[in-house]
Amino acid sequence: MFWFKKNDARKISPRDPRFASAAEIRETFESLNEELLWLAEVITGNAGVAADCVINATKLSESHSTIFRDWLAQWAHKATIRVSLDHVRARISRAAEEKYQHVHCSHAGHEVLSSAEAAALQQWPALTLAAQLDPLSRTVLILRGVEHAAVQDCALNLSVPRAAVLAAYCSAVGWLSRGTVSQFHEREPMFARDLAPSLQKL
């Protein structure tokens, strides 16, 4: 550009190749659109709101200039979940207080879902899960079970007690083992086979 001085040219460094461009970020969100919508629908329980969450997460992410290329998929998941949580925080807090304040997990905790189990769970309609689980249990199912967040991190991100997170995850896993696995056997035996191992450790 002719209006730059010679010294100015030396100050302009090329883009760090480790970081993704806005176009690459957008392409990642587009390629993962189906699974991002599933995550948002489970958390929000509303297809229209979920679609808006994915769009907003994409726009917010495009404005970041320091997202590592190797982390694009994880970033897309986390950004979508973060935006989705903004729509249900009040309901999550209410569920923690009204449903899980005096309920405790009687087990020694439950394991996170394996990749195969998470993939099998994602074959189930998101809005069906959302209709069967309260806002806290379905959100913890995503954060803890699918995304493998630590229990303490779930509690901090959701601003609810750690005991409520454990109880809500226990509730979600219990419902899945009693209801969803049997329904998978009727609809998709292969998915039931992949989903059952950790859910049936009750």
Cβ contacts of 65 within 8 Å, gap of 6 or more? 19
pLDDT surpassing 70 at residue 188: no
Candidates 80, 90, 25; CA nearest to 53 is: 80
Give me the mean pLDDT over the 156-178 stretch. Answer: 92
Give yes or no: residues 117 and 181 share one domain: yes
Radius of gyration over every alpha carbon of the chain, rounded to an integer in angstroms: 20
pLDDT of 68-77, one tens digit each? 888 999 999 9
Total number of domains in the chain: 2
**Confidence band of 144 (pLDDT split at 50, 70, 90):** very high
4 located within any domain: no
Distance CA 127, CA 102 (A): 28
Query: What's the pLDDT score for residue 11?
Result: 42
Give yes or no: residues 197 and 142 share one domain: yes
- Taking the CB of residue 54, how many other CB atoms lie within 10 A of it? 24
Against a cut of 0.95, is the pTM above it?
no
Domain that holds residue 98: 91-202
